[in-house]
Amino acid sequence: MKKTKDYINLLPPEEKKPGRVVGKGSLFAALFVLVWLVVFGLQMKELLVLRARLNTLAVKKQALQQQLADIHKELGIALPAGMSPEKAAVIQTILSERVLWSEVFKQFAIMVPKGLWFDSLEGSTMGKAEIKVRGGAFSYLSVAEFMLAMEKSPYFEKPQLLFAQKAVVQGKDVVAFEIACGIKNAQGAR
């Protein structure tokens, strides 16, 4: 027989709860966190390897700078006070690549034969130093003499005649020409 307490129950009946089934969302979240941790770990490992390599390179750089300073002392090259060897090297590179245009023009003044003139000079130091000369002459021979003088000059390299053609200017026959050539730097010209 059932007792009254079995009939009267103020507590709600226990519902059957399903077993803990992992939802798809939870599974994807856990997988995402796991992949993120693996990627983060690999990135941290790579960072540590790169830092160690950077430290090694910094030590090598210091050793090379010391060797450069020793070489400068042996050669008697004095660095200005407070200037690092890197700055001195950059300045030396710039100075070795510059073109002394005044020297180039002096060479032209020496080499130009009679009966030849310039209409324009166009210089460029972008990349390799070059110059283009446009002008005229009374004969092809004057143009040939000028090109020969350029070939012999220590300031110019590989002169090329781009064109030379007869033209009539103010009733006179002249030869218009254009020559392009490289310019050696100041150290190579001396």
pLDDT tens digits, residue range 75-108? 776 666 666 767 777 766 666 666 677 787 888 8
Separation of alpha carbons 139 and 115, rounded Å: 8
pTM of the model: 0.47
**Token digits of residue 76:** 């008697």
- Domain range for 82: 25-97
pLDDT over 50 (residue 113): yes
Separation of alpha carbons 143 and 149, rounded Å: 10
Q: Is residue 13 a part of any domain in this protein?
A: no
Q: Is residue 5 a part of any domain in this protein?
A: no
Of 188, 187, 181, 190, nearest in space to 128 by CA? 181
Domain match, 34 and 62 both = yes
pLDDT tens digits, residue range 24-82? 888 899 999 999 999 999 999 999 999 999 999 999 999 988 888 788 777 776 666 66
Domain match, 46 and 57 both = yes
Domain match, 46 and 82 both = yes
Q: How far is CA 27 from the centre of its chain?
A: 51
Domain match, 42 and 85 both = yes
Domains in the chain: how many in total? 2
Domain match, 107 and 146 both = yes
